A and B are shown apart, each in its own frame.
Chain A
Amino acid sequence: MNLDFTREEQEFQQSIRDWMQTNVPDDIKRCSAVGEMTGKELQQKWERLLGGQGWLALTWPEQYGGPGWTATQRYIFDLERAMAGAPPTSPFGVAMVGPVLYTFGSQEQKDRWLPGIVSGGTLWCQGYSEPNAGSDLASLKTRAERKEDHYLVNGQKIWTTQAHWADMMFCLVRTDSTVKQQKGISFLLIDMKTPGIEVRPIYSIDGHHHLNEVYFTDVRVPLENLVGQEGMGWTIAKFLLTHERTTIAGVADSHHEISRLKKAVAEAPGFLDKSQARQRIAELEIELMALEYTNFRTVAATDEGKPFGPESSGLKIKGTELQQKVSQAMVELGGMMSLTWDNPETVGSNVFNRATRRYNFLRACTIYGGSNEIQKNVLAKMLLGL
């Protein structure tokens, strides 16, 4: 048992902290201090900066452009990144399609797509959900018919985050409707500039445009954009679910949000009951500690080369619940200061003025990536034997 970072890890932490201090762009820090969304340009600027350092594809093997860090180092990096007020990187390229490509892709596919992900140059989106295939993802209907030299794709995706930014989409499509649902799904890479693709915005309750509907009408996708074999799509999707669990709990960003909340409470005008506020924050900090030590167990096990243990099973559920609780505390402690939506000048505290945006946004976190109810169904079956 040893619950402290080693001396080397502490030095690593200090070096990352120093780097963040001088390198996180000021406009990003400004956004994060008040809780505003970074937007495409800033997000991409940040990801390219990390890509230039070789710090974007953190979990990848070194041969594909990973930094060769341990899970503990990755955890430390994520923590210092968040505490410096920098946003998490977009998961679609780095955390999702990248590992799929180096695990299941052909040499040509790796050569073609991995460098753009490592550098932050190519933006990806995820074409999974459909209007009638949400939690029941395997019932998806978007069709890809195999023609002589291409797939012909027809159908519709929905809730596609950043589709309006993306250069590429990785997409689950039905290539065979005569076999069992899961067996007829394939994993296809689609260039978002292909004729026949229409992206329509969905505005979410934080007032922002992250989500989209994506319509496919006779979209021609080259045959070489199929990953693995036809019918392997479901296997690949399941692989992704278990790929990386050491940052899924969002511990780093919850630390940052709590520290913002504390600062806001300390600086808040007189009507806020600070003693009561500090106790509410203490409850959140304690929950975060339990989550963080559970996360540390997963990180440590990963560094010992062990498979994910039962401790990792609740990280997504607990992590998202806590993110919601922290954002709710921020809104409620702000009280009337949280009534503002697009105020041009600060009323009391800018942190509280912006608090409802994140609170609204985070209602989605217990839904996306497999709703918490679906997660519990899976755990009941797989772990509890029910």
Chain B
Amino acid sequence: MEFNLPENTTLIADTARRYLKDNYSFEIYRQHIEQQNHVDASRWLAMQELGWFGLPFAESSGGFGGTLLDVAMVVRELGAALCLDPYVDMVVAPGKLLEYIGSDASLAMLSDVIDGRAKLACALYDYHAGNQVLTPSMKLNGKRLSGQKNFVPDGGFADTLLATALADGELVLLAVPVADCETIRHRALDGGRIANVLFDEVEITDGMILARGKKAEQALSMLLAYLQALDCARMYGAAGALYQRTLEYAKTRRQFGVAIGGFQIIQHYLVDMFIDLQQLESMLLMVAVKAESEDASRRERASTAAKAYYADKAVRIAQQAIQIHGGVGVTEELDIGHYFRLVTHCSLTHGDRAHHIKRFAGLDEVHPGE
């Protein structure tokens, strides 16, 4: 085995870190939360120019042929910088879904994503079906689409939704204009923008149906594993930032005449965070390599284990970061609490811990080391 990041991946990660350091900050983040539209035109253009829009997609799809590992390193840096630009929600997620569908029509839409012209988001969840994404509650009856989607991460401005529905018991993937729906947008836990969308007898033409049946299920399954890996990457970035800030704080914050990092219990808390962070890194590398596998069993074992693990340990790191900071840790003034919300947010998207534990328990056996 070999765990070294390829040179190109390291370069991508370093570039992302430098770009965000120069162009994003906690102050910008706090203004960002207040905005309805979460795309900042100049940063969006810059991210496109950095090559991020083409990165997740194969060269044959018009992309730059980056691996999930490459994308994960960008997303890790976005998490570490607390950056709310909806790169995953509006580029990676809809783009990968279109690529996995792989039809002429979907690849044509993908080229608009890569060019930065598309304003797409994925509408996969509703509160009836929960994490049972293959059986959404929305129904397509003939040419009429009725139902609702919740928790749609649309950046506050998407004009087209890639939505799931059931048509005669079969999964269909649709591209639906937002203008045809009733949309209530609001702020999400992590500070991003999400929407509840009501589809009331929306007319669906043949051209709006992107995939159905097994094809749709497979594309969705591959997308979810990919996004679960990116949830982990974002949490890793945030957890790493929390650890660094907390260690620094323990070395400088003085009580009883000494730095609190001199107290054994604080030392042990920090060592626990450090060790968990090492294990989270191992799981991130593991899932980033395996979650884009075409082998469903390999992919699902990796993504489901990683997501369940992160929802436990990354959350624990975030909780301990607040505990060690004490009172200032629970204020809006300090970034610690905002990272905490980001980690909590990502622990709940694309399947929470209980969902993934249950799912893992139902997966096939493999011999250790395979």
Contacts and interface: CB of A to CB of B under 8 A. Distances in A.
A380 interface: yes
B268 interface: yes
Interface string B335-370: 000000000000000000000011011100001110
A275 B357 CA distance: 11
Interface in A274-298: 275, 278-279, 281-283, 285-287, 289-294, 296-297
A376 B268 contact: yes
Given A1-B285, A311-B278, A76 B369 contact: yes
Given A79-B368, A282-B361, A293 B270 contact: no
Contacts of A293: 279, 282-283, 285-286
B250 A300 contact: no
A291 B357 contact: no
**Interface SS majority for chain B:** helix
Interface residues on B, range: 35 or more
Interface in B235-251: 247, 250-251
A328 to B, nearest CB: 17
B290 interface: yes
Interface in A1-26: 1-5, 13
A377 interface: yes
A379 B274 contact: yes
Interface in A343-365: none
A296 B3 contact: yes
Contacts of A66: none
Contact of A289 (B250, B251, B274, B283): B283
Nearest to A274: B361
A384 B247 contact: yes
Contact of A314 (B262, B268, B275, B285): B275
Contacts of A110: none
Given A281-B361, A311-B281, A286 B4 contact: no
Interface in A157-208: none
A3 B286 contact: yes
Contacts of B251: 385-386
Interface in B259-289: 261-262, 264, 266-268, 270-272, 274-275, 278-283, 285-286, 289
B58 interface: no
Contacts of A301: 3
Pick the most buried of A299, A384, A385: most chain B CB atoms within 10 A of its CB. Answer: A384
17 contacts: A1-B69, A2-B2, A3-B3, A3-B289, A3-B290, A5-B369, A255-B368, A279-B358, A289-B305, A296-B3, A310-B278, A314-B274, A314-B279, A376-B271, A380-B268, A380-B271, A386-B267
Given A1-B3, A317-B275, 15 more contacts: A3-B3, A13-B369, A79-B369, A255-B368, A278-B362, A281-B361, A282-B358, A290-B313, A297-B3, A300-B3, A304-B2, A314-B274, A384-B270, A384-B271, A386-B267
Question: Can you list the 9 inter-chain pairs with the closest CB atoms, starting with the nearest?
Answer: A314-B275, A380-B267, A293-B282, A282-B361, A278-B361, A294-B282, A255-B368, A282-B360, A290-B279
